[in-house]
Amino acid sequence: MHTVITAKSAADFLALVPALTGYTPTRSIALVAFRGSRTLGVLRVDLPPADADAQSLASAAATFVGMICRLPDADGLAPVVYTEGPLRAGTPPRQSRRGAASPDGAVRRDRAPDSPHARIAHSELIDAVRRCADACGLAVRDALCVAADGWASYLEPHLAHPLSALDAAAARADLPAHTAPTRGDQHSGAELPDVDPCERVRVAMALADLQELLEALDAGAGTPRGDDPEDDDDVAVAAAAELDDLCNVRPARAGEPGRFRAFARAATTSALAPEPPGSRAAATALGALCDIPGLFERALDAAPDQLDTGTTAALLLCLSRPPLRDVALSQWSFSIAVGAEVLEAQVLWHDGEAFPARLATHMVGEGPSPDLARVRAALALVRHLSAVAPAQWRCAPLTVAAWLSWALGRSTHASDFLALALEIDPGYGLAEIVSTMVRSGHLPEWAFGRSDTLRAPGLDRETGGSRGAT
């Protein structure tokens, strides 16, 4: 259910843009798309470099407007420039957004900037956007600039207004709590959550024990000693090869997963007893690996900070294996049934069969829209996994966080996660792929078919009757 809020003036509209985006943009141009008097969403991109020439600005404007044209039923737009410089080009900024201290130490609110004959900052870019919009049949509802010392409309460049007017408009809007913008700019929300340092140590111990256990099983798998299912050692040896294959995407065939569960119980009750806490967590992780789709689904349903150490270790192990990582991305995007189908396809591909293209199109943003609620839950999960993971295990969850952010239309967040991942492993394959898509400005198809990927959830905005807002 959406909250409909009416904006009767340009100041009201500017006060609502942060609620539409979920943050206050900086060094950006935000293009608000319209269908009639209703917004469809907001596309935010970085401002072009200050030294960009006319051809570069025209190319950027064509790209921006082209993205708006991809939104179904879009018939108008309102570009809003956010700059930390002065409102008028060539005018030194008088003070910051919140006012500046005078020589006597008092903080005074800003006034509308002087130099009314100077052009508004980034006018050349807005001119290019308006030309492209006109060529595409899109109405320009308004074109606005919010600077360090005031704000103005490019459609009425002789007028300038103090920033305090936006504060007053925001107060009048009285946004419901669930639609209020978050603090910060477009980078806010890409930081990793705080975690208990002790849990990070426990996860590292569990991963080390799990790897050692898997290596030991693999080493003993070639010398089975019997077929008695009641013998714990024989169960472990008989399952070892398939368990090792499971972690490399060759799970047991139908009817065999019970052997893995039997092994996990044996490992927990006898092979590791008495065991230190790390080994106990490793045994838990081992049991979780017996049902990978179930592991992924339970993790999605749980509060990330409530995951036990063994489950966390099992998730990090799976994400470190590219085929299982892709199963996780598919399942978290759609459903457990899709996850199971992709897992089986990975197994068959490993056996030499072709991988169905329809199961991979979403990875490059094609095909049906994912379940965005699941994607948001998965993003919260992998942000936690990235925070709690030892450094050498962090690249995979960070890259998954980047893809999920990109799938939600949050390319800025994706860039931030990718920077962290590529710092750890500059050659990590999926990180390079997602980075290429982000750098080229490629957005998933569903971003243009569903407005909730380009707008903060729960908010519609309707314009009132003022000029430039109809």
**Range with top average pLDDT, 15-19, 151-155, 223-227:** 151-155
CA dihedral sign, ordered 419, 420, 423, 424: negative
- The verdict on 147 and 284 lying in the same domain is no
pLDDT band at 160 (very low <50, low <70, confident <90, very high): very high
pLDDT band at 92 (very low <50, low <70, confident <90, very high): low
* Residue 166 resides in a domain: yes
pLDDT band at 228 (very low <50, low <70, confident <90, very high): very low
Q: Residue 106 sits in which domain range? A: 3-187+459-463
Q: Which pLDDT does position 327 carry in this prediction?
A: 94
Mean pLDDT to the nearest integer, 230-253 = 42
- The verdict on 299 and 424 lying in the same domain is yes
Mean pLDDT to the nearest integer, 331-336 = 96
Q: What share of the chain in percent tops pLDDT 90?
A: 51
pLDDT over 50 (residue 6):
yes
- The verdict on 280 and 374 lying in the same domain is yes
* Residue 257 resides in a domain: yes
Mean pLDDT to the nearest integer, 391-396 = 95
pLDDT over 90 (residue 209):
no
Q: Which pLDDT does position 110 carry in this prediction?
A: 44
Q: pLDDT tens for residues 52-61?
A: 999 999 999 9
Q: Which pLDDT does position 212 carry in this prediction?
A: 80
41-45, 57-61, 431-435: range with lowest mean pLDDT? 41-45
Mean pLDDT to the nearest integer, 428-454 = 82
- Residue with the bigger pLDDT between 302 and 290: it is 302
9-18, 60-69, 162-171: range with lowest mean pLDDT? 162-171
* Residue 452 resides in a domain: no
- The verdict on 226 and 154 lying in the same domain is no
Q: Which pLDDT does position 180 carry in this prediction?
A: 52
Q: Tell me the CA distances in angstroms from 252 to 312, 359, 379, one per residue in order.
A: 23, 21, 30
- Omega before residue 274 within 30° of 0, cis: yes
**Range with top average pLDDT, 36-45, 103-112, 139-148, 271-280:** 139-148
Q: In the Cβ-directed half-sphere of 320, how many Cα atoms lie within 13 Å?
A: 18
89-103, 244-258, 272-286: range with lowest mean pLDDT? 244-258
pLDDT band at 262 (very low <50, low <70, confident <90, very high): very low
Mean pLDDT to the nearest integer, 351-371 = 92
pLDDT over 50 (residue 259):
no
182-191, 210-219, 377-386: range with lowest mean pLDDT? 210-219
pLDDT band at 91 (very low <50, low <70, confident <90, very high): low
Total number of domains in the chain: 2
- The verdict on 154 and 207 lying in the same domain is no
| pLDDT mean across residues, the chain | 78
- The verdict on 173 and 247 lying in the same domain is no
* Residue 385 resides in a domain: yes
- The verdict on 62 and 152 lying in the same domain is yes
pLDDT over 70 (residue 311):
yes
- The verdict on 178 and 211 lying in the same domain is no
Q: Which pLDDT does position 148 carry in this prediction?
A: 93
* Residue 448 resides in a domain: no
pLDDT band at 452 (very low <50, low <70, confident <90, very high): low
* Residue 468 resides in a domain: no
